[in-house]
Amino acid sequence: MTENPAPAPEGADVDVRERLVELAKRRGFFFRTAGAYGGAAGFYTFGPEGAALKRAVENAWRDRFAVAEGNVEIDAPTVLPEPVFEASGHLDTFDDMLVECADCGTSHRADHLVEDHADIEEAEGLPPEEIESLIRDDEVACPACGAALSGEPVEDFNLMFETAIGPGSGSPGYLRPETAQGIFVDFPRLAEYARGQLPFGVTQIGRAYRNEISPRRSILRVRELTQAELELFVDPEGGGPDLAGVADAELRLLSAEAQLDGESEPYETTVREAVDAGTVGNEWVAYYLGVASEWYESMGVDPDRLRFRQHVAGERAHYAVDCWDAESEVDGDWVELAGVADRGDYDLSKHREHADERFSVFRQYDEARTVERTDVDPDMSELGPRYGGDAEAVADELRALAGRDPETLDGESVTVTVDGTDYQVDTGHVEVTTETTTETGEHVVPHVIEPSFGVDRLVYTLLDHAYREDEVEGERRTSLALDPSVAPTLAAVFPLTDGERDRAEAIVAELRAEGFAVEYDDSGNIGRRYRRQDEVGTPFCVTVDPDTHADGTVTLRDRNTTEQVRVPVDALVALLAALRNGDRDFASLAAEYPVVGDGDGSAPAPDPGGE
């Protein structure tokens, strides 16, 4: 046995993926929902092991991005009324490209077909006309029936699920495509809770829904997913974060400029170097790239299979000033795990335009300022007959002009533009007043920095990066080298013979009372029990044997090395806590306590055979 069993061999990506998905289904990590009815594409159920792993991921994210950062958490509804998404832009822009086979009627996501058949890694940012040309030039065929797709139109397809709020036709609403809007629409109240002090952050972990054209690759692309998002509201003219804590965090970056130059390999740098070089323009974005990099590694993501790729101009979402995706290498492909976006003031400004609330905070000046304010009072009895339905818009533009450039109202007339039409207004019909006031501050619309994480994809990545195949005593072993902090079960307790069942059950009860996820297993020989736990990623196994009654010790086995040490039962709680929290590793235990067995996973008892 090697100390760290090697990952599954390269070059067998498809076979390994199939074995991993089969393991996930057989051992209760995830499986397609409603299998008794043929399943539902894009919907998956997390089984007992998967739900525990997913919950551990969510709790770890909450600890790092909410608790450790001093941010708050809310839980907003998953259904929101239509005006929310009119304001956010999702009704007009939340689209993917669809192409439909004329022969069999199957719909496909056009950019994914191009990526699968052409030498293009990211086709999402290309315009539909170019996607149509690539489908034609590469002679892309329908994956369902083999018919040629050349000449078929590529059209935008909105990904939101529509519903009705209330009885009958009700009021139109949508299942949220991201958790963020639930935070943005309630910003005025949330800002009150934060006492208007910037920066402040609001987090949310919850379900989002996207009516994917072609869900695929199990839980990597689904129609119902879990997001963990942080919306950090910052002063557009305020200072950045303190980078000291993450300045040396290592990043593997692939910038937009490098991609446009034809580069596909990331380069290694640090947060501080990336900021100093201007590669990452916003320090808040750089800060969270560093936090995310360290957090992913702590969760068990292989740092050599993690990169941060900047969106190129045509790829960015409608709300983003800049965005960097955290991507992991899975099954030979790069998969988006998270996006760290600078959303500017897009979201709050849009909701301010459409809603009746104030989507801003009051910024106090260091010293009070004396300013002149110009106001106008148009004579609507004159403007109404003259400009008809545009009279109110003309009046609003006059008021805005008084704030921007009051001197333009000094002449006999002024020209204002409404919806592309110029109107000449006689200033004699506009009363202009100027007053001097003392102001102590001003209202500003905060900018938003958004680290948005996909939970389901991280669960799959952790399983993929933890998947191991090796041999123990000449027999093939499959294991998941999950980090103890997220493993669904921290330890399994086995009685070696029937005579130790009561003692083993008592140890299980004690460990569970201390908050450990522990499994009891007395079925089959000891080697078979070890293999079962290895396969679901249980880091440690505790075996109770006849010596336990004599000297009060048990064997503690490490999943990765199969090494065993003999430890006192009274020390078991403290040792497992230290191992789970990363305060100790198994090598330190082997240096302190007696090593038993021959290091191949067998207990010092008869019948150590594998499964």
327 pLDDT more than 60 = yes
Return the pLDDT at 482.
98
State the average pLDDT over residues 411-440.
86
Distance separating alpha carbons of residues 543 and 504, to the nearest angstrom: 8
600 pLDDT more than 80 = no
**Residue tagged 């009516």 (tokens):** 211
605 pLDDT more than 50 = no
CB 64 within 8 A of CB 290: no
Comparing 462 with 428, the larger pLDDT belongs to: 462
Return the pLDDT at 550.
94
The pLDDT mean for the chain works out to: 91
Return the pLDDT at 162.
93
What DSSP line would sit under 453-480, residue for residue?
EEHHHHHHHHHHHHEEEEEETTEEEEEE
CB 496 within 8 A of CB 546: yes
State the average pLDDT over residues 454-476.
93
Q: Where are the alpha helices (DSSP H) in 27-109?
A: 48-61, 82-88, 90-93
598 pLDDT more than 60 = no
State the average pLDDT over residues 450-467.
98
Indicate the range of 164-168, 507-511, 573-577 predicted with least confidence.
164-168
State the average pLDDT over residues 349-376.
86
Q: Which of 467, 553, 558 is nearest to 7 (CA)?
A: 467
Comparing 198 with 402, the larger pLDDT belongs to: 198
State the average pLDDT over residues 463-484.
93
Return the pLDDT at 1.
41
Return the pLDDT at 589.
97
9 pLDDT more than 50 = no
Q: What tens digit of pLDDT does each residue of 23-39 get?
A: 999 999 999 999 999 99
6 pLDDT more than 80 = no
State the average pLDDT over residues 94-116.
90
State the average pLDDT over residues 86-92.
90
Return the pLDDT at 481.
98
Residue 172 banded pLDDT, cuts 50, 70, 90:
very high
Return the pLDDT at 2.
38
449 pLDDT more than 50 = yes
Residue 577 banded pLDDT, cuts 50, 70, 90:
very high
Comparing 170 with 9, the larger pLDDT belongs to: 170
174 pLDDT more than 90 = yes
For 572, residues 6+ apart whose C-beta sits below 8 A from its C-beta are 507, 511, 542, 554, 556
**∠498-503-509 over CA atoms, to 5°?**
125
531 pLDDT more than 90 = yes
7 pLDDT more than 80 = no
